[in-house]
Amino acid sequence: MSALQTARPPRLQPHWFARALAGAAAALVLFAALFAFAILLFQFRYLGRIYPGVSVGGVDLSGVRRTQAAALLAERIDYPGREQITLEDGEQSWTLRPADLGLFFEAQASADAAYRVGRDSLPGTRWLRQLQVWRAGQDIRPVFVLDGPLAQLALDGIAARVNQPVREASLGVVNGQVLAEDGQVGRSLDVDAAIRLLEPLFKDMQSGRIALPMVTRQPQVLDVGAQAELARRILSQPLTLDIAGRVEGDPGPWTLDQAALADMLTIERTIIDGQVVYQVGLNAAKLRAVLEPLGPVLTRDPHNARFIFNDETRQLEVIQPSLDGRRLLVEESIQHINQRLGEGAHTIELVFDLQAPEVSSSATAADLGITELVSDQTTYFYGSSAGRIQNIQTAGSRFHGLLIAPGAVFSMVENIGDISLDSGFTEAWIIYGDRTIKGVGGGVCQVSTTLFRTVFFGGFPIIERYSHSYRVYYYELNASGSVNPNLAGLDATVYAPIVDFKFQNDTPYWLLMEVYVNPGARSITWKFYSTNDGRQVAWSTSGLQNVKEALDPVYEESAELDAGEIKQVDWAVEGADVTVTRTVTRDGKVLYEDVIRTHYEPWATVCQYGPGTRNYPPREREQDKYSCNRLRTGN
C-alpha cells in the first residue's frame, strides 16, 4: 500500500440512526398526548361554560356558566329602558325609550348565542375555532325582540298628532258672496318605514334622532285663490254688453247688475291638460237666455253707403256711411264674454257674423258708372195740410241717396221701411176702400207718383204699378197750381205691405236716386244719376175717356163736431178711363213698349156736421156735389 493512499471516513453504525429516530417519534407522541390532554382539560374546564373571549354587547362572558350568563346580561344590558330616541316631524318631536317603542332584550337568547360560539363548528375543528375566539375575542350582538303591536300602538299615538286627511279645495257663491277654502295635502305616518329606520339604532344599541317618514296625498285641487279672486272681480261691478262700431239707432247697451251676475255665476270642476281645475264664468244656458232674444233685434242687412252726385265735380259725396250686415253669434258671444271677464273686462262687445255691403263708403262715381243725370221729375202738392207735407218729407228722405244695382228690381215698399207715428209719420188723408179717411202716412203716394214718373220718363221697365181709386188733383197739378188733365193716369199708389211700386234698373250701371222736397214751393223732385245709354222715350195719352159724373154728396153726423160745425172730409170727382202708352228706343230700335190703363171711379163729396146743426143736411135741390157749405142756413 502506498504512503499516499486516501483515508476513508469511519462508518456510522446502524444502531445509532434507529436510536435517534425512535427518540424523535417518542417526543412527538408525547407532545400529541400532552396537546390532547390540554384540549381535553380545556374542554373539561369550560364544560357548561362560555368559552373565553366571548362577549355580548361588550359584556365579557368568558368562563361564565350558561345558566348564569342570562342573569348577568339582563343586569348589565339595559339599552331598551335607558337610551332615548327622538322622533321628529318638522318642529314637532317626541322622545321615547326603545322599550316604549316595543323593544325588549332577550337575555337568555343572547346567552345561548354566546354559549354556542366554539360549539357550532364541525367536531374536528371546534378546538381551532375556540382557540381563535380565545386569542381574538368575539362580541355578539345582543338579541332584541320588537313587539309589533306595541310598536304599532306607540307610533299610532304619534300618527294621531301628525296625520291629516286630504281635503279638496272648495269654491262657491252664497248670497252673492264668494266663499273659498283652499285644499289640504293629506299626510300619514308610514309606520313600517319608521320601524325600518329604528332597526339600525336598535341593533347598535344607539340613541339618535329620526325624521318620521310621511306619506303624502295631493288633493285634485289645492289652491283656488286665483279663481276666487276672478269670481270676486266678476261680481265687483255690473257687466255691460255692447255693440262694436255702434251707430245711431242701434239698440243697447245692456247691463247685468251684480245680483244678476251672481245668479249666473257658475263654478265648475273640469280637466285641463290632465289636471283638475275650477273654471269660473257665467252659466252658458243663462247667458243664452239673455242673448237669444237679442238676435232678431240686432240682425241687420248690409246697407250700401248713400251718396249725392256733385254736378260740379262729377264725384260722389257720402251722406250716409255704409253699414255691414250683421247676425249675432250667440255661442261665440258666450265664449267671448267669459274670456273677457277672465281678463278683467266689464264692458264687453258682442260677437257678430258681419257681411260687407255691395257698395262701401269708399266707392267712387267711376267704380259705379255714375256720370250724369239721366232722369228727373217734379210733382206739386199745393193745398196739402201740414201733416201731409210732413209725410212727404219723411217718405222722401227714405230714398234720398239710395243705390240700385245693375239689373236689380227696386221695390218701394221694401225700402220705405216702417210707416208709423214712431218713425216720423203723422196722420193725413188716405184712400181706404171707398172712402178718404185720416190715416198715418197720408201723402206717401205723392212720393210714389213722383218716382213712377221719373221711372216712366227715364225709360226704365215698370214691373208693378197700381193707380189710385179715384183722380187725386194733387197728381194733376202744374207748377202754376192749375190742373193738367193730361197728367191723369201717371200716378202710382203704395200701401205697404200689400200695394207696391217696382221697377228695374236694366242698365249695366248703378243707379243713384236723389229726392228733394221743398215745402215752401210745395214740390218734390226725384233725380236719377247713372250713365246715359242713349235710350229715348216717346209717350202719349188718351186723355179722360168714359167720363162719369161725380156721385151725390154724403152727409154724416159726427160727435166730434160742435152744433153748427160743418166739415168736408172728402171731395167729389168725376170717374174716367185713361190709357197711356210709352215706347222706349235706343239707336232706332225698340227696347219695349208699355200700355198703361187706368180706371178711376167717380167719387162723392162727404160732409160731416155736429149734432144739432139746424137746417142740415140741406134739401136735395139745395145740395152741391162739390161743396158742403153752399146754402148753409146756420145752426
- Confirm whether 174 is domain-assigned: no
Residue 448 lies in a domain: yes
Dist. CA 554–CA 624, nearest whole Å: 11
In a shared domain, residues 498 and 390: yes
Q: Please check whether residues 200 and 111 belong to one and the same domain.
A: yes
The verdict on residue 119 lying in a domain is yes
pLDDT reported for residue 517: 96
Pairing of strands 523-530, 551-557: unpaired
Q: Looking at 299-444, which runs of residues are DSSP E strands? A: 306-310, 315-320, 325-328, 347-349, 352-355, 372-380, 403-404, 409-411, 427-432, 435-440
Residues 6+ apart with CB under 8 A from 433: none
CA 401 to each of CA 111, 340, 363, 405: distance values in angstroms, whole numbers, following the listed order = 120, 40, 13, 13
Are 505 and 538 members of one domain? Answer: no
Element (H, E) at 230: helix 225-234
Answer yes or no: are the C-beta atoms of 401 and 306 closer than 8 Å: yes
Domain that residue 112 falls in: 49-163+190-210
Do both 387 and 478 map to the same domain? yes
Inside any domain, residue 555? yes
Judge if 416 and 348 occupy the same domain. no
110: amino acid identity, one letter: S
- Residue at which a domain ends, from 532, 549, 582: 532
| pLDDT for 510 | 98
pLDDT at position 438: 57
575 & 492 share domain: no
Q: Which one, of 381, 533, 386, 563, lies nearest residue 472 by Cα? A: 381
Q: What pLDDT is recorded for position 466? A: 94
Q: Is residue 82 part of a domain?
A: yes
Indicate the number of domains in the chain.
4
Which regions of the chain are under pLDDT 70?
1-17, 31-40, 44, 124, 170-172, 176, 180, 220-225, 274, 423, 427-441, 630-635
Strand ranges (E), 7-84: 54-56, 59-60
pLDDT tens digits, 110-156: 889 888 888 877 776 777 888 888 888 888 899 989 888 888 888 88
Pure H helices in 77-147: 79-82, 107-116, 126-136
Residue 206 and residue 87 in one domain: yes
- How close are the terminal C-alpha atoms of the chain, in Å? 221
